[in-house]
Amino acid sequence: MATHTPKKFMALTSLEGQSLGKYRILEPIGRGGMAQVYKAYHPQLDRFVAVKVLRADLVEEKEFLARFSREARAVAALRHPNIVQVFDFDMQDGLYFMVMELLEGDTLKAYLNAYRINGERMPRGEMVRILVDALSGLGYAHQAGIVHRDLKPANILLNKHGQAVLTDFGIAQIVGATQYTVSGALMGTLSYMAPEQGMTGRCDARTDLYSLGIVYYEMLTGKVPFDADTPLAILMKHVNDPLPLPRKIDASIPEPLERVTLKVLAKQPDDRFQSAGEMAEALQAAAGEAGIEVPASFTLPLPAIRPQAPAGPVEVFSGTSRRKIADAGFAFADTDTTLKEKLAREKRKQLDQEDNGFSDKISTGVFQTLFKPPSDLPDEIIQPRYVRQAALYGSLTIVLFNICALWAGGIQGWNIYNRAWPMELVLVGVLLSALMASLAIPWMLIPTGIVLFNGLLLGYFSLTGRWAHWRLLWPLEPLLIAASILGAFWLSRQKRAGRWASRRLGLFLLLLAIVAQIAILVTSAVLSVLGR
């Protein structure tokens, strides 16, 4: 592989007529989520090749060059009739590209599209042949330690020799996460992605088999088993929903073929086939049991699409209106390089919808402004923080105020404790409200509210001397206790938003306690000076 120092990113919408290394770019022949594919010509060898140019916006990280060289070299070492041959890989002017054999034929996706539009199914013998070919190439790659990560009909080419050939080996590995990175990126096509890959990004041979199992299911039934309007909804169906039985969709599907889908599409990797060879044997055995003849190579002409003139006006869907399409997912089969970000946004939005419902019930005004949670709640906002500082400063406040009261009594002769003894409860309220704000735990409202408001209530009686008012105000006691307990339960049901509100409420109570404590201390001192 020749090496070049990147000069700049080529600002071209198409490379037609340009040269990349030894290859003259002729015309674009395909495009996916991660790369553009061109037909090119090598004049020295007098042969046509396919050149896959990776998207420039996906290769800006510092470690990319080393990863590209490492992974591309491993993919280029694969030599198998059912894996597209990689001849070369290089970089020029900031463009990373791989050179592979140019195969005549079309993708399995194109065949499935044609059958689907015509309302037909692929002959089952040809279907089994295609899958066995794909499993042969897949098993070879797995033995070499390479996992595909993005198997789908668009990455299975059916060539003119009647062979299924796997393409795009290593591309997801090159662009996304590798065993050498920790964070990595989640990318792929969720309709074909195994649950563990979508949830954790973890991939192995059984992950590829699950993806091929989805392809198998689509070949049998004409559609993928799990589809929805959003990426997160699709992922959750892979994780939680039972597999729709193929024979309920098409009763003509032989039961032995259905058994293979149930095995390969198990939610847990340990319950699936453990190798490509094991799945190929099971598939061939199922075909034999069902009396299906599997040809040595398929002779599958691309079905002619029979267009039908619409009987009435044709409705055009664009933008958000595409959600009206019953099988909208069928149009979104490209590899998605932003799945990690999309899933994170959807999860955050879902949590906000669940947790922020209480904000709509809060009355308008200053209280709503202070306690209405933001539209996005980052985790760091609701995590415990400054707990040690809250405990330390709260305890120091108790000690400091008592020292001041003792000093005033000993030096100035003011009998602070005569009337200000409820300040001890308020001081404990300072500590508890500080801990409530730092921990962001709704249940802290129970001790904080009971202690603090009892301190304020008793402070009123002690400073004013109007203990007779207790006969009128005693109902406040059970009301304050009930309000503290019910408020804690209500906040806890708001989940994330409740924790955010608990922190705000703790800060509010802390300010109230400090102001009340100063007021009690000053009032008691004034009354002592006046001799009252």
How many domains in the chain? 3
Given 79, 101, 123, the domain boundary residue is 101
Residue 360 has pLDDT above 60, yes or no: no
Given 75, 101, 127, the domain boundary residue is 101
Which of 112, 90, 96 lies closest to 36 in space, CA to CA? 96
Res. 11 pLDDT band, cuts 50 70 90? very low
Q: What angle do CA 203, 207, 209 make, to 5 degrees?
A: 150
Q: Which residues pair with residue 38 across a beta bridge?
A: 28, 51
Question: What is the spatial distance between Cα 15 and Cα 434, in angstroms, rounded to a whole number?
Answer: 63
Structural domain for 97, as ranges: 19-101
Is pLDDT larger for residue 153 or for residue 375?
A: 153
Question: In this structure, how many other beta carbons lie within 10 angstroms of the beta carbon of residue 172?
Answer: 27
| Residue 308 falls inside a structural domain | no
Is pLDDT larger for residue 329 or for residue 423?
A: 423
Quick one: 332 and 457 in the same domain?
Answer: no
DSSP 448-479: HHHHHHHHHHHHHHHHH--GGGHHHHTTHHHH
98-141 residue pLDDT tens: 888 888 888 888 888 888 888 888 889 999 999 999 999 999 98
Res. 309 pLDDT band, cuts 50 70 90? very low
Quick one: 162 and 287 in the same domain?
Answer: yes
Q: How confident is the model at residue 24, as a pLDDT?
A: 86
This prediction's pTM = 0.58
281-299 residue pLDDT tens: 999 999 999 898 888 877 7
Q: How confident is the model at residue 349, as a pLDDT?
A: 62
Q: How confident is the model at residue 361, as a pLDDT?
A: 44
Residue whose structure tokens are 């990319």: 64
Q: How confident is the model at residue 282, as a pLDDT?
A: 94
Question: What is the spatial distance between Cα 396 and Cα 392, in angstroms, rounded to a whole number?
Answer: 6
Residue 395 has pLDDT above 80, yes or no: yes
| Residue 455 falls inside a structural domain | yes
Quick one: 95 and 109 in the same domain?
Answer: no
Q: What are the two backbone dihedrals, phi and then psi, of residue 405, each rounded to the nearest 5 degrees?
A: -65, -40
Quick one: 246 and 196 in the same domain?
Answer: yes
Catalytic residue among 88, 133, 150, 168: 150
Q: How confident is the model at residue 374, as a pLDDT?
A: 56
Quick one: 247 and 215 in the same domain?
Answer: yes
18-46 residue pLDDT tens: 888 788 888 887 766 566 788 888 888 88
Quick one: 521 and 489 in the same domain?
Answer: yes
Question: What is the spatial distance between Cα 266 and Cα 530, in angstroms, rounded to a whole number?
Answer: 83
Quick one: 424 and 497 in the same domain?
Answer: yes
Quick one: 287 and 138 in the same domain?
Answer: yes
Residue 228 has pLDDT above 90, yes or no: no
Q: How confident is the model at residue 284, as a pLDDT?
A: 93
What is the average pLDDT value for the chain, to the nearest integer? 76
| Residue 354 falls inside a structural domain | no
| Residue 287 falls inside a structural domain | yes
- Record the tokens describing residue 121, joined without a space: 């199914």
Q: How confident is the model at residue 130, as a pLDDT?
A: 92
Q: How confident is the model at residue 321, as a pLDDT?
A: 43
Q: How confident is the model at residue 136, as a pLDDT?
A: 93
Question: What is the spatial distance between Cα 442 and Cα 92, in angstroms, rounded to a whole number?
Answer: 58
Residue 319 has pLDDT above 50, yes or no: no
Here the CATH number for the domain that contains residue 271 is 1.10.510.10
Res. 358 pLDDT band, cuts 50 70 90? very low
Stretch 390-416: mean pLDDT: 78
Here the CATH number for the domain that contains residue 36 is 3.30.200.20
79-103 residue pLDDT tens: 888 988 888 887 777 777 888 888 8
Q: Which residues pair with residue 107 across a beta bridge?
A: 157
Stretch 254-262: mean pLDDT: 93
pLDDT > 90 in the chain, percent:
12
Stretch 252-277: mean pLDDT: 92
Sign, CA dihedral 116-122-128-130, equals negative
Which of 122, 126, 124, 115 lies closest to 304 in space, CA to CA? 115
Quick one: 77 and 23 in the same domain?
Answer: yes
Is pLDDT larger for residue 176 or for residue 289?
A: 289
Q: How confident is the model at residue 47, as a pLDDT?
A: 85
| Residue 135 falls inside a structural domain | yes
Question: What is the spatial distance between Cα 167 and Cα 279, in angstroms, rounded to a whole number?
Answer: 20
Quick one: 477 and 406 in the same domain?
Answer: yes
186-208 residue pLDDT tens: 555 778 888 888 777 778 889 99
Which of 186, 228, 213 lies closest to 330 in space, CA to CA? 228
- Output DSSP code: residue 39: E
Look up 336 and say whether it is catalytic. Answer: no
Is pLDDT larger for residue 459 or for residue 49?
A: 49
Quick one: 141 and 70 in the same domain?
Answer: no
Quick one: 131 and 164 in the same domain?
Answer: yes
Lowest mean pLDDT among 115-124, 143-152, 227-236, 435-444: 227-236
Assess contact for 290 and 127: CB atoms under 8 A: no
Q: How confident is the model at residue 425, as a pLDDT?
A: 84
Residue 166 has pLDDT above 80, yes or no: yes
